[in-house]
Amino acid sequence: MSSEQESFGNGVQSASTGADGLRERVFEIRTAILRSGPVTGTFDRIKRHESILASVQAGLGLGWMFLFLFAPLLYIVTLSFWQRGAGGVIIQQFSLSNYEFILTQNVDLATLTFNNLYLTILWQSLKYGVFVTLGALALGYVPAYFLGRTVSKWKAAFLLLVVLPFWVPLIIRYYAWILVLGNKGLLVSMLGWVGIESGGFLYSDLAVISGLTQALLPFMILPIYNSVNEIDDSLIESAKTMGATP
C-alpha cells in the first residue's frame, strides 16, 4: 500500500513539474511573440494612430473655440478701434476716439464732476461681480466641503439638489424672485410681521446680487466639491497626526 502511495506521489510531482515546465514554455513563447518585429510594429502603429487621433480631437476643440469664441472677441476688440461715420457706417481707420469718449464723457476734473454712464456701468458690473462671488463662496463652501467628504448614501441625492436648478429656465428663476422681493412679496410680508415697513426690494442692488448669487451658486459648489473630493484621506490623517486642526 505504501509503495502505491509513493508511486502516486511521484506521479503527482512529475505532473506538477511538467505543468510548471509547460507554463514556463508558454510564457517564453508568448514573450517571444510579443517582442517579435511584426507585433511591436503593430503596437507602435496603434500608438501613433492614438496620438494622431488625440491631436486631431484637440485640434478640433481648439479650432471650435477659436472660431466661435476668440475670433468674435478679436473682431469686437478690432471694431472698438475703428471709427463710425455718417449713418453708422464703420470706417476702418485706427483711432482711440471711442476710448477717449468713454473715459472723458461728462467728466470735469476741474470741478470733480463725474457723471460718466459707461464708467458707472463698468463700476456696477465690477461691484456686483465681487459681491456675487463672495456671496456664492460664503453660501457654497460648506455644502461643497460636506459633499466632498461625506460617505452618506444620500450623497447622490444631495448632488442632485445642487444641479436641480439647471433644469429650470433662468428666466423662470428670476421671475420667482419677484414673489420674494416684490412689493407684496414674502420678504416684505415677513418684515411686516415684526413691525418693519418696506416698499419692496425689486430693482435694487439686493435684488440683483440675490438673483445672480442664486443662479451662479452651483458653479461655485461643484468645482469646490470636485477639489475636496480628490483630497487623499491619508493626507488628512497625516495632517492630524502632525497636530493640524480642522
pLDDT in tens, 48-99: 666 777 777 788 888 999 999 999 999 999 998 988 877 778 888 888 888 8
Cβ-proximal residues to 222 (8 Å cutoff; 6+ apart), any chain: 144, 162, 163
Instruction: Classify residue 20 as exposed, middle or buried by CB count within 10 Å of its CB (0-12, 13-18, 19+).
Output: exposed
Provide the pLDDT for residue 5: 46
Report the first-to-last Cα separation within the chain, whole angstroms. Answer: 73
**How is 180-200 classified by DSSP, letter by letter?**
HHSTTSHHHHHHHHTT-----
CATH of domain 117-241: 1.10.3720.10
Provide the pLDDT for residue 12: 44
92: nearest Cα among 71, 78, 73: 78
User: What's the rounded Cα separation, in Å, for the pair 138 and 217?
Assistant: 10
Provide the pLDDT for residue 17: 55
Provide the pLDDT for residue 138: 94
Cell of 179: 414673489
User: What's the rounded Cα separation, in Å, for the pair 234 and 219?
Assistant: 28
Provide the pLDDT for residue 113: 64
Domain range annotation of the chain: 2-67, 83-114, 117-241
Residue owning grid cell 486642526: 245
User: What's the rounded Cα separation, in Å, for the pair 109 and 98?
Assistant: 19
102: nearest Cα among 81, 85, 88: 81
Looking at the chain, the whole-number percentage of residues with pLDDT higher than 90 is 20
**Using the 8-state DSSP alphabet, how is residue 201 labeled?**
-
**Using the 8-state DSSP alphabet, how is residue 82 labeled?**
S
Provide the pLDDT for residue 130: 95
User: What's the rounded Cα separation, in Å, for the pair 118 and 103?
Assistant: 8
Q: What is the pTM of this model?
A: 0.64
Cell of 117: 454712464
Provide the pLDDT for residue 41: 57
Cβ-proximal residues to 187 (8 Å cutoff; 6+ apart), any chain: 180, 181, 198, 201
**How is 121-145 classified by DSSP, letter by letter?**
HHHHHHHHHHHHHHHHHHHHHHHHH
Cell of 226: 470636485
User: What's the rounded Cα separation, in Å, for the pair 129 and 135?
Assistant: 10
Provide the pLDDT for residue 244: 75
Question: One-letter amino acid identity for 40?
Answer: T
Provide the pLDDT for residue 8: 42
Q: Spell out, as residue ranges, where the chain has pLDDT lower than 50.
A: 1-2, 4-6, 8-9, 11-12, 15
**Using the 8-state DSSP alphabet, how is residue 36 labeled?**
S
Residue count (the chain): 246
